[in-house]
């Protein structure tokens, strides 16, 4: 067989299909999925490890509540004993103690007066409330991260639209310049300038699409999705709260502030209950028993009851050291709460100011974009009429593209500013 025939018989199609198969598989695995903001937040809550870690802390706090409760409740146990002596113990031919002894009893212990255990049980409930507030804050932070990224996707999509519009305008300009040059009216310089601007605009489009792909992938990672996610709708954020109501809402709804307030209350209650460490506690026991064989002092069956009163007098200074530690924890909780409230007020002020500034910037940017579009139309008309060169058109195209880009960025900034204000006031999510 000749070399030409061997080349003809070589399975080029099969080899090419094998080379392209991984690419096709990668494209299938990376199918884009559309989600709404609510869906993205809901999926993130279900898949984010931070949310599960916070839930585990709540479960641990609930387990500690059960442990604290146990010290205030009765306990019941069964004991059994078998004793083998070397020989029977007798006195005057009378059996005093058998060499084989079997004993059993049931012990019921009831804490009748246990003030220390009672307050520890109450403190465990406070710790559980703090853990639940921290879990809510973890969920809030996940939702905020998802919302910020979701808005970034919306803003990046707008940038892609602006870039594509600028690209299409530059292409139309090039086609007109090329037609003029081909018809002997225009110049090669005009055509080349227009072509260069079209190529530059195409680069803007590719960069914008790359930014969009990255934000989509970031959203997918946050949500825990195996594929990239796209924003399915334009987000409509609620109107920001007034400055007077915003701080009150923040104290009641922001998970971080609620957790710090609960921690402060819990630490205060622990210090308030220091006096309980000096109180006596009373325990009652009831013990039925079985003895085989019975002895002179121990019948075969019977029971005994006992009350035990304990008054702690001296413990080496342990209680005073514990009290000082609790007071330190209380002061630390108060300092953290005061600092957080001060920071929250600052965040609300700057967030409200940022919203006002972003709205003003957006209005100015939109006006600039409108004027730039009008200038582009005027420059294009003048060029088509032969009154100017295409330098004015290219300059107007760039200015229009930049103005539209700034307007898109201003829109994203305004949305993000509203989100931050709602988050600072505890109204999101």
- Encode pLDDT of 297-337 as tens digits: 778 888 999 999 999 898 899 999 999 999 999 999 999 99
Q: For strand 229-231 and strand 281-292, is the pairing parallel, antiparallel, or unpaired?
A: unpaired
State the angle between helix axes of 115-182 and 49-70 in degrees (0 to 180), rounded to the nearest 10: 170
Per residue in 30-81, pLDDT (tens digit) is 578 899 888 999 999 888 888 888 889 899 999 989 988 988 899 999 999 8
133-152, pLDDT tens digit by residue? 999 989 999 999 999 999 99
Which carries the bigger pLDDT value, residue 381 or residue 96?
381
Fold for domain 43-75+124-424? Outer membrane efflux proteins (OEP) (1.20.1600)
Band of residue 240 on the pLDDT scale cut at 50, 70, 90: low
* Averaged confidence pLDDT in the chain: 86
Q: Is residue 270 within 8 Å of 330, Cβ to Cβ? A: yes
Number of other residues whose CB lies within 10 A of the CB of residue 416: 19
Tokens of 238: 């609620």
Alpha carbon dihedral 167, 171, 174, 178, in 10-degree steps, equals 160
Distance of CA 245 to the CA centre of its chain: 25
Q: Give Cα 386 distance to the centre of its chain.
A: 60
């Amino acid at each position: 067989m000749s070399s030409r025939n061997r080349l003809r018989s070589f399975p080029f199609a099969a080899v090419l299909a094998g080379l392209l198969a991984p690419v096709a598989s990668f494209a299938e695995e990376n199918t884009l999925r559309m989600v709404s903001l609510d869906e993205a937040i809901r999926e993130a809550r279900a898949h984010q490890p931070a949310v599960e870690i916070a839930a585990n802390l709540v479960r641990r706090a609930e387990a500690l509540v059960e442990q604290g409760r146990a010290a205030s409740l009765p306990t019941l146990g069964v004991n059994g004993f078998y004793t083998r002596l070397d020989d029977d113990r007798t006195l005057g031919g009378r059996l005093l103690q058998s060499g084989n002894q079997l004993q059993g009893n049931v012990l019921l212990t009831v804490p009748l007066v246990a003030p220390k255990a009672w307050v520890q049980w109450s403190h465990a409930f406070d710790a559980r409330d703090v853990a639940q507030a921290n879990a809510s804050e973890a969920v809030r932070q996940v939702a905020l991260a998802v919302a910020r990224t979701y808005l970034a996707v919306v803003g990046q999509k707008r940038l892609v639209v602006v870039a594509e519009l600028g690209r299409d305008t530059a292409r139309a300009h090039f086609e007109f310049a090329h037609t003029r040059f081909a018809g002997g009216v225009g110049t090669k310089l005009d055509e080349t300038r227009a072509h260069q601007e079209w190529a530059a605009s195409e680069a803007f489009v590719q960069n914008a699409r790359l930014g969009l792909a990255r934000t989509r992938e970031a959203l997918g990672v946050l949500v825990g999705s195996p594929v990239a996610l796209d924003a399915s709708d334009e987000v409509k954020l609620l109107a920001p709260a007034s400055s007077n109501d915003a701080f009150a809402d923040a104290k009641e709804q922001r998970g971080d502030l609620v957790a710090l307030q609960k921690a402060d209350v819990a630490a205060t209650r622990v210090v308030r209950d220091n006096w309980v460490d000096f109180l006596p506690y009373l325990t009652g026991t009831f013990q039925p028993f079985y003895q085989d064989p019975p002895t002179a002092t121990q019948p075969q069956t019977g029971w005994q009851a006992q009350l035990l009163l304990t008054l702690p007098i001296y413990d080496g200074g342990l209680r005073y050291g514990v009290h000082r530690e609790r007071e330190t924890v209380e002061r630390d909780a108060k300092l953290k709460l005061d600092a957080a409230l001060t920071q929250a007020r600052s965040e609300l002020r700057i967030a409200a100011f940022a919203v006002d500034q972003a709205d003003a910037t957006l209005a100015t940017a939109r006006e600039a974009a409108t004027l730039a579009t009008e200038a582009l139309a005027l420059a294009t008309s003048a060029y088509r009429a032969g009154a100017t060169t295409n330098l004015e058109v290219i300059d107007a195209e760039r200015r229009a593209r930049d103005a539209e880009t700034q307007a898109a960025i201003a829109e994203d900034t305004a949305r993000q500013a509203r989100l931050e204000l709602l988050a600072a006031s505890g109204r999101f999510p």
